[in-house]
Amino acid sequence: MTFEEIKRDPAIRAYIAQADVSLEALGYTEHSFAHVTRVAETAAYLLETMGYPARTIELAKIAGYLHDIGNIVNRIEHSLSGAVMAFRLLDKMDFPPEEIATIITAIGNHDEGTGVPVNDVAAALILADKSDVRRSRVRNRDIASFDIHDRVNYSVTQSELRISDDRTQVQLKLSIDTRFSSVMDYFEIFMQRMLMCRKAAEKMRLKFRLVINEQQIL
């Protein structure tokens, strides 16, 4: 079973779509196909660049694509409910238990409230998910009514996560339009995520660097 087959599965697509509908009703930024596809591709990039086996990369892409389906149950502890849902879906598809274990471990550990980068796939998923900050995720078109999450995401005009050529560092480089949000606003809501990214990078034997408007912050 491949990532492309997972993407085409109608049940999985329905769960991702409906989970995003629920988050939209709660006022959250976009968590639909654009987000989960980007997370899947970024997680794959990280592991591929670090020389991991092809099947490990494929499992990371699947984990990235499925990581937010638990939002269909509830936003609270969505990583845990998502892991249970993923187990059910993948088990019915006859995935090997070892591969299911890797995927659901990563999903169950991606949330900054409870998650820990317990293996390299989980670490790649954390870095990919927490680095997806960008203007296009903001649904609210009324700038005057933005909350802090809207302001911070809308202010990010460019976001890039890259591993250094010598494979010793992973850098999240952001361009922030300070007319909409200050750098301090970013840290107010994302500090815990950035600390989680640092731990995830360490799991992959990398140093995490955060650069905002050409200034190294972490």
**207 pairs with which residues across the strands?**
169
pLDDT of residue 150 exceeding 90, the answer is: yes
Predicted confidence at residue 64, as pLDDT, reads 98
Question: Is residue 218's pLDDT more than 90?
Answer: no
DSSP per residue, 59-116: HHHHHHHHTTGGGGT-STTHHHHHHHHHHHHHHHTT--HHHHHHHHHHHHT-STTT--
> Tell me: the pLDDT tens digits for 22-50?
999 999 999 999 999 999 999 999 999 99
Query: 1 pLDDT exceeds 90?
Result: no
pLDDT tens for 160-178 read 999 999 999 999 999 999 9
Say what percent of the chain tops pLDDT 90: 96
Domains of the chain and any CATH numbers: 3-216 (1.10.3210)
pTM, two decimal places: 0.96
Q: Is the pLDDT of residue 73 over 90?
A: yes
| CA dihedral sign of residues 82, 35, 170, 54 | positive
- With bands split at pLDDT 50, 70 and 90, how would you rate the model's confidence at 18? very high
